[in-house]
Amino acid sequence: MGFFSKLFSSRPKLEPLDMSILGTDLHSHLIPNIDDGVKSVEESIALLKRFSEMGYKKVITTPHVMSDFYRNTPETILGGLEDVKKAIKEEGLNIEIEAAAEYYLDFYLEELIAEKNLLTFGDKHLLFELSFTAEPPRIKEVAFELTTSGYKPILAHVERYPFYHNEWKQLEDYKNRGILFQLNINSLSGQYGPPVKKMAEQLIDRGWIDVVGSDCHHMGHMELLNSLRTNPHFHKIAEKPDLLNKTL
């Protein structure tokens, strides 16, 4: 056995993380037929069973709201939520579910801010996402509109935007403006490519992640999440005392 083989084999293997340390999963797509997530209540229940088996006590699901694809409203989201809640009760599952939204930053979001017609969770926290191809020009202005309107913006899967990779001064500026950062746990698997995995690890090492989530759309995401329960960086972020998941 070579030197490096001995080095790595001597490292203690971590036990699978009990997800009750997180308590709540933030960021998933579990309401049927309103976005690119689950297609049936039965699929929602199957995924929620897996969340419960892993130790989660609560899920805050966040359907997409986008002007050109998923023009969901509080009515469509909360109506679908009630169907899932009814099925949870019928199944006797010991898990809570709430709903907010994952808002795409575009002109439609600015209209919703002005109308105060937004779904939030926790202490008026609001999840928003960006295009993966280019940074939108008005992110600072929209963040200002949100914070001055009393909302607490959270940027979804910050590690996945290539234009932010290694742009630490820019990200620090956003944090100073009151933007919190959410990380997809599955980014640690390399699912989205090595650069995203590296960025996820660096953000955790810097202590810049405020909340984590599964971004679960289907059972494949759940199996990948389960496989990461021995991942050292997942253990590191899960043990962060002020991780927002623990208070939601």
User: What is the distance between the alpha carbons of residues 83 and 115, in angstroms, rounded to a whole number?
Assistant: 27
Chain centroid to Cα 85, Å, comes to 21
Q: In what order do the strands lie in the sheet with 58-61?
A: 24-26, 58-61, 96-99
Find out whether 141 and 107 touch, Cβ atoms under 8 Å. Answer: no
What value does the mean pLDDT of the chain take?
A: 95
Chain centroid to Cα 153, Å, comes to 13
In the predicted structure, residue 147 carries a pLDDT above the cut 50: yes
The average pLDDT across 145-169 equals 97
Find out whether 97 and 59 touch, Cβ atoms under 8 Å. Answer: yes
In the predicted structure, residue 1 carries a pLDDT above the cut 80: no
- For 41-70, the pLDDT digits (tens) are 999 999 999 999 999 999 999 999 999 889
**Domain map (residue ranges) of the chain:** 18-241
- For 185-196, the pLDDT digits (tens) are 999 999 999 999
- % pLDDT > 90, the chain: 94
- Local confidence band at 4 (pLDDT 50, 70, 90 cut-offs): very low
* Domain boundaries 18-241, CATH class: alpha beta
Which of 147, 143, 99 is CA-nearest to residue 120?
Answer: 99
pTM for this entry: 0.94
User: What is the distance between the alpha carbons of residues 45 and 38, in angstroms, rounded to a whole number?
Assistant: 10
- For 82-118, the pLDDT digits (tens) are 999 999 999 999 999 999 999 999 999 999 999 999 9
